[in-house]
Amino acid sequence: MSDPQLFLSSLQFVQIPSKALKASDKLLAAIKSTEKRVFPSNEAFDFDTELKKRNTSLFCVYRLEQGKNETPQTEKIKSGKPEKCGKSEKAGQSAKLGPLEPQLVGYAVYIRTKQMTRIHKVCIVDRYRRLGVGKWMMDQLLKELRKARAEAVDLWVDKDRLPARGLYKAMGFEEMEEVVDYYSKGRNGVRMELRLSS
């Protein structure tokens, strides 16, 4: 990923679940798996329950990447002797690449109420961190919220997650309050807020 701008231009930002996106179920499964891997059990989001609520929305960022062919065999065994599988295959030929497949890059969840929209979850898959994806995704999310006429947005962030706090500040969020042991003992939370309407 030598060119960050080229990488960012390859990203797609969509709301899921979506009947219009064939890979919606696959991406949702990847989100659930990532959630379990990244967050402690007491902070993990229950997508099955929460996505049934009208005021909860899930957006994901994905990109199309070359998949691997699921059956890369170049030989098959028939009566104890190896044989070539196809006319066009040559000895020593490497496995063919499969079709482009959507790969999860990150996701965000927000919950809307009359007074405030809470960004409840922001997560970037490990291998895509430090590439500008967090800022790009937050820009897209805030555009969606402005289109939906949200007036104010808030979120909670771990006080010790300085890069995340720095990103939110750079996007115009202000630190409003700190709650001791918000996440767990010794992990304070900072509530940050952004006014979308002027």
Indicate whether 125 belongs to any domain. yes
Indicate whether 126 belongs to any domain. yes
Closest CA to 26 of 35, 12, 16: 16
Q: How many domains does the chain have?
A: 1
Indicate whether 92 belongs to any domain. no
Whether the pLDDT of residue 164 is over 70: the answer is yes
Cβ pair 59, 144 in contact under 8 A: yes
Indicate whether 189 belongs to any domain. no
- Across the range 160-181, mean pLDDT stands at 96
Exposed / middle / buried, residue 65 (Cβ in 10 Å: 0-12, 13-18, 19+) = exposed
Whether the pLDDT of residue 5 is over 70: the answer is yes
Indicate whether 85 belongs to any domain. no
- Domain holding 46, by residue range, is 4-66+100-151
Residue-wise pLDDT for 34-50, tens only, equals: 999 999 888 899 999 99
Indicate whether 16 belongs to any domain. yes
Indicate whether 104 belongs to any domain. yes
**170 token code pair:** 């750079």
Whether the pLDDT of residue 198 is over 70: the answer is no
Residue-wise pLDDT for 113-160, tens only, equals: 988 999 999 999 999 999 999 999 999 999 999 999 999 999 999 999
Would you state the pLDDT for residue 42? 87
Whether the pLDDT of residue 84 is over 80: the answer is no
DSSP assignment of 104-115 equals: EEEEEEEEE-SS
- State the average pLDDT for the chain: 86
pTM, entire model: 0.81
CA dist., res. 131 & res. 159, Å (int): 22
Which CATH number is 132's domain given?
Answer: 3.40.630.30
CA dist., res. 35 & res. 123, Å (int): 8
Q: What are the phi and psi torsion angles at 142 (to 5°)?
A: -65, -35
**Would you place residue 2 in the very low, low, confident or very high pLDDT band (cuts 50, 70, 90)?**
low
Indicate whether 31 belongs to any domain. yes
CA dihedral 141, 147, 149, 153 (to 10 degrees): 10
Whether the pLDDT of residue 20 is over 60: the answer is yes
